[in-house]
């Protein structure tokens, strides 16, 4: 039952508890990426990705009672919201919590006058694509990427950060 779910900004004093959830999200989404292998990379990525003071990417988490079960991170520019991160812990998936979080986002964004919502879905995550399409989102375009080695002037193989697995 999702009626006991509520969403609130992650308080700064809960930063470390939130970080544990963010790291679980990264391991789930991109287990072979550098951010999952190096503490230094995790520290840097966390600081770049989430803000508490003066930034526009403050995370909100979904809670049942006082238990965090997921989070969303977004930023707003004029009448557009960019959803950067959206996560439901594995044991809470397929129970309606993700849809309830999206409903909360729609209400929140409506109050802010948001007319457009944008998000990216990794090509290796068809379940996420299906979820977002079920919420009413549609594919608006394709974002292409190439990683290059500037020292030798050639492209690397792979287009996701997790494609680069060290042997």
Per residue in 17-70, pLDDT tens? 999 999 998 888 888 888 888 899 888 888 888 888 766 777 999 999 989 999
pLDDT at 2: 55
The answer to whether position 121 is within a domain reads: yes
Q: Tell whether 104 is covered by a domain.
A: yes
Whether residue 163 is contained in a domain is answered as: no
What pLDDT, on the 0 to 100 scale, is given for residue 132?
94
Q: Is residue 114 part of a domain?
A: yes
Of 128, 129, 132, 122, the residue nearest 163 (C-alpha): 122
The set of residues, in sequence order, having a beta carbon less than 8 Å from that of 116 and lying 6+ positions away, is 79, 80, 81
Q: Does the residue 52 lie in any domain?
A: yes
Q: What DSSP designation does 58 have?
A: -
| pLDDT classification of 146: cutoffs 50, 70, 90 | confident
CATH number for the domain spanning 133: value is 3.40.630.30
* Bridge partners, 9 (sequence order): 60
pTM: 0.83
- Provide the domain limits for residue 42: 5-139
How many structural domains comprise the chain? Answer: 1
Helix axes 15-29, 39-49, angle to 10 degrees: 110
Confirm whether 147 is domain-assigned.
Answer: no
Please indicate, yes or no, if residue 158 is contained in any of the structural domains.
no
């Amino acid at each position: 039952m999702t009626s006991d779910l509520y969403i609130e900004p992650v308080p700064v004093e809960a930063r470390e508890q939130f970080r544990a959830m963010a790291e679980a999200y990264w391991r789930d989404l991109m287990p072979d990426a550098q951010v999952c292998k190096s503490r230094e990379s995790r520290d840097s990525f966390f600081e770049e990705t989430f803000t508490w003071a003066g930034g526009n990417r403050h995370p909100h988490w979904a809670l049942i009672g006082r238990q965090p079960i997921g989070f969303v991170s977004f930023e707003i520019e004029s009448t557009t919201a960019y959803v950067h991160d959206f996560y439901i812990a594995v044991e809470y998936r397929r129970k309606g919590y993700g849809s309830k979080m999206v409903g909360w986002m729609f209400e929140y964004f409506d109050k802010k006058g948001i007319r457009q919502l944008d998000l990216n879905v990794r090509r290796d995550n068809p379940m996420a694509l299906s979820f977002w399409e079920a919420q009413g989102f549609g594919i608006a375009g394709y974002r292409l990427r190439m990683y290059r080695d500037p020292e030798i002037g050639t492209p690397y193989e792979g287009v996701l950060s997790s494609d680069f697995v060290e042997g």
